[in-house]
A and B are shown apart, each in its own frame.
Chain A
Amino acid sequence: MKKILTVILCMTLSFSIFAQEAKDKHLAKLPAIDIQTLDGAVFNTKDIQNDGKPVIISLWATWCKPCIAELLAIADEYEDWVEETGVKLYAISIDDAKTSSRVAPFVKGKGWEYTVLLDVNSDFKRAMNVNDVPYMCILNGDGEIVWQHTSYAPGSEEEVHEIIKSLVK
Chain B
Amino acid sequence: MISTSIKRILIASTLLLGSVWAFGQHQIGNGRISGDFGFNGMYYIPDSIIGAEPVDSKVRGNAFLNILYTNGGFSAGARYEFYQFPLIDFEKIGYKGQGIKYFFADYKNSFIQVTAGNYYEQFGNGLTLRAYEDRQLGIDNSLLGARIKLTPYKGIYIKGVWGMERYNFDSYLGRKDFVSGADLEISLGELVPVIQEKGFIARVGANFVSKHQPVDYPYYFDLYPGTDSATLAYIPEDKIPVNVGTWAVRGTFGYEGFRLDGEYARKINDPNITNHFIYKPGEALFLSATYAMKGFGIAASFIRADNMEFRSDRYEYSNSLLMVNCIPAINRQYSYQLIGDYSYASQPNSQIGAQLQVNYQIPKKSALGGKYGTDITFNYSRFHDIDKQLVPEAVENGTLTGTMGYTSQFFKFGPNLLYQDIGLEISHRFNNKKWKWILAYNYITYNLEILQGHAGVMRGHLVASDLSYKITPKHALRLEAQHLYTKDDIGSSIYAMLEYSFSPSWFVSIGDDWNYGNPDPVHKTHYYNISCAYIWNTTRIALNFGKTKEGILCVGGVCRAVPASYGVGLSVTTSF
Residue of B84, B108, B292, B301 near A109 (CB, 8 A) is B292
Known: A31-B70, A101-B299. A8 touches B19 (CB 8 A): yes
In the bound complex, CA of A34 to CA of B408 (Å): 40
Is A109 a contact partner of B122 (Cβ separation < 8 A)? no
Is A111 a contact partner of B361 (Cβ separation < 8 A)? yes
Is B26 a contact partner of A105 (Cβ separation < 8 A)? no
Contacts of A166 in B (CB 8 A): none
Contacts of B257 in A (CB 8 A): 108
In the bound complex, CA of A26 to CA of B292 (Å): 42
Say which one of B32-40, B43-51, B86-94, B451-459 lies at the interface with A: B32-40
Residue B340 interfacial (CB < 8 Å): no
Contacts of A111 in B (CB 8 A): 294-295, 361, 364, 373
Residue B99 interfacial (CB < 8 Å): yes
Residue A115 interfacial (CB < 8 Å): no
Is A148 a contact partner of B538 (Cβ separation < 8 A)? yes
Say which one of A48-56, A80-88, A92-100 lies at the interface with B: A92-100
Identity of the chain B residue whose Cβ is nearest the Cβ of A44 in the assembled complex: B110
Contact residues of B between 467 and 501, Cβ < 8 Å to A: 468, 470, 472-476, 478, 501
Known: A41-B190, A96-B132, A109-B361. A154 touches B468 (CB 8 A): yes
Is A97 a contact partner of B36 (Cβ separation < 8 A)? no
Residue B145 interfacial (CB < 8 Å): no
Is A97 a contact partner of B573 (Cβ separation < 8 A)? no
Known: A22-B29, A42-B157, A98-B329. A155 touches B474 (CB 8 A): yes
Known: A41-B189, A108-B257. A12 touches B99 (CB 8 A): no
Identity of the chain B residue whose Cβ is nearest the Cβ of A17 in the assembled complex: B22
Residue B532 interfacial (CB < 8 Å): no
Identity of the chain A residue whose Cβ is nearest the Cβ of B334 in the assembled complex: A63
Identity of the chain A residue whose Cβ is nearest the Cβ of B130 in the assembled complex: A97
Contacts of B470 in A (CB 8 A): 154-155
Contacts of A31 in B (CB 8 A): 70, 75
Residue B399 interfacial (CB < 8 Å): no
Say which one of B8-16, B52-60, B215-223, B512-520 lies at the interface with A: B8-16
Is A104 a contact partner of B26 (Cβ separation < 8 A)? no
In the bound complex, CA of A131 to CA of B75 (Å): 19
Is A106 a contact partner of B252 (Cβ separation < 8 A)? no
> DSSP majority for the B interface?
strand
Contacts of A26 in B (CB 8 A): 27
Is B19 a contact partner of A11 (Cβ separation < 8 A)? yes
B512-530: CB near A (< 8 Å → 1, else 0) gives 0000000000000000000
In the bound complex, CA of A82 to CA of B295 (Å): 20
Residue A23 interfacial (CB < 8 Å): yes
Known: A63-B335, A98-B328, A150-B535. A108 touches B293 (CB 8 A): yes
Residue B502 interfacial (CB < 8 Å): yes
Is A109 a contact partner of B19 (Cβ separation < 8 A)? no
Is B68 a contact partner of A127 (Cβ separation < 8 A)? yes
Is A63 a contact partner of B19 (Cβ separation < 8 A)? no
B198-233: CB near A (< 8 Å → 1, else 0) gives 000101000000000000000000000000000000
Is B130 a contact partner of A101 (Cβ separation < 8 A)? no
Is A149 a contact partner of B252 (Cβ separation < 8 A)? no
Is A129 a contact partner of B130 (Cβ separation < 8 A)? no
Identity of the chain A residue whose Cβ is nearest the Cβ of B534 in the assembled complex: A151
In the bound complex, CA of A153 to CA of B473 (Å): 11
Contacts of A107 in B (CB 8 A): 292, 297
Known: A97-B326, A155-B473. A110 touches B292 (CB 8 A): no
In the bound complex, CA of A107 to CA of B505 (Å): 28
Is A105 a contact partner of B299 (Cβ separation < 8 A)? yes
**What residues make up the interface of B, taking CB atoms closer than 8 Å to A?**
8, 11-12, 15-16, 18-19, 22-29, 32-36, 38, 66, 68, 70, 73, 75, 80, 84, 98-99, 108, 120-122, 124-126, 130, 132-133, 157, 187, 189-190, 201, 203, 252, 254, 257, 259, 261, 288, 290-299, 301, 326, 328-330, 333, 335, 357-361, 364, 372-373, 375, 377, 429, 433, 436, 466, 468, 470, 472-476, 478, 501-507, 533, 535, 537-540, 556-557, 573-576
Give 27 pairs: A residue, B residue, CB < 8 Å, sorted on A: A4-B99, A5-B12, A13-B22, A22-B27, A32-B108, A40-B201, A41-B190, A64-B335, A76-B372, A97-B124, A97-B125, A98-B330, A101-B259, A101-B290, A104-B292, A105-B290, A122-B132, A126-B68, A129-B34, A131-B540, A151-B533, A153-B503, A153-B506, A154-B468, A155-B470, A155-B474, A155-B475
7 nearest A-B pairs in the assembled complex, by CB-CB distance: A109-B359, A105-B297, A16-B22, A108-B292, A109-B297, A155-B503, A154-B476
Given contacts A107-B297, A111-B294, 12 further A-B contacts (CB under 8 A): A8-B16, A15-B23, A40-B201, A72-B429, A96-B126, A109-B360, A110-B359, A149-B538, A151-B535, A153-B507, A155-B470, A155-B472
